[in-house]
A = this chain, B = another copy of it.
């Protein structure tokens, strides 16, 4: 294992030091491993808290800032943050209008965010609502999940719900639009290589030099099947077809994200995007907006995932609204 780290046990804490040093728009509560906006609270705004295991950067810390999250809780690599830390984040960001928890569907995350919401309810009058993302069409259940896994739609949801919150919408309104985004989003991923968790010191799984894993999860958990390596064009079909088979995307403009898993270079991601865009066009799907790059990663895994969101006019308007975070920034 070769990584740019010091002690394998301290990777998350030391990465948070760098995140804080690099971005004057955030501050870090190092005790609780929470990344927060640096500016004072905006009274009356619904606050958005997300989080989960680390190793998926820029998710979630890179999405803290104007127009997206108010706080991100960083667990150990691929391990949910504990309820007391999520509680601390929730208490820190509430500005009198309640807090939305954005949770990817993994057993540990769902349980810990639930417990945090109960702690907050018991100890304060703060209202908490929760949205759980479950957009991954690859598998129904997995190693860490009952039901579908939450993956790429989480990025799009945090942007759109964050813009709704900036507009001064109510907690129930923001939760409803978040749930609508989740229900209209689907994802599918694949890996060329495993990832390596630093404390384990070796790859999470073995993948022969001539094989790929289709339907991979973002923690290296198994996908649908292993197959012989194929061309980008064939891989594009293996991502697009299961998504289109699961939901009709032909009647709304689509926000498409071609996401890198962490170790695939941009030249390959652009090439893949070209293949995906051509295939979607052939299937009558119209791409209104897109992202190409590393947005929800799996440490040093090579590979990519595709997320499609059937957007309505309101979602497109909220997507285009200003955002000022480390990983997404426009319009301001």
Q: Which residues of A contact B (CB under 8 A)?
A: 2-7, 11-12, 14-22, 54-55, 57-58, 62, 77, 192-193, 209-210, 212, 229, 231-233, 235, 258, 262-275, 277-278, 290, 292, 294, 297, 299-300, 302-304, 329-332
Contact = CB atoms under 8 A, between A and B. Distances in A.
B2 A274 contact: no
Nearest to A2: B192
A302 to B, nearest CB: 7
A290 to B, nearest CB: 5
B294 A232 contact: no
A4 B266 contact: no
Contacts of A193: 2
Contacts of A58: 266
Contacts of A299: 265, 267
Given A2-B192, A232-B5, A273 B22 contact: yes
Nearest to A195: B265
Contact of A263 (B54, B210, B229, B263): B263
Nearest to A328: B329
Contacts of A3: 192, 268
Contacts of A235: 4
Give this chain's copy count.
Answer: 2
Q: Which 10 interchain pairs have the tightest Cβ spacing? A: A18-B274, A18-B270, A17-B274, A4-B268, A57-B266, A263-B263, A18-B273, A262-B265, A2-B192, A21-B277
B265 A18 contact: no
A216 to B, nearest CB: 13
Nearest to A274: B18
B14 A304 contact: no
Given A16-B270, A21-B274, A262-B266, 7 more contacts: A4-B268, A14-B271, A18-B272, A18-B275, A57-B267, A266-B297, A294-B294
B265 A57 contact: yes
A201 to B, nearest CB: 12
Given A18-B292, A290-B22, A57 B270 contact: yes
Contacts of A302: 2, 263, 300
Nearest to A10: B271
Given A18-B270, A265-B263, A274-B15, A6 B300 contact: no
A165 B247 CA distance: 48
Max chain B C-beta neighbours (<10 A), residue from A57, A271, A303: A271
A186 B130 CA distance: 48
A146 to B, nearest CB: 27
A29 B297 CA distance: 32
16 contacts: A4-B232, A4-B268, A5-B231, A6-B275, A12-B267, A15-B267, A15-B274, A18-B274, A18-B292, A21-B273, A21-B274, A55-B267, A57-B267, A57-B270, A265-B294, A294-B294
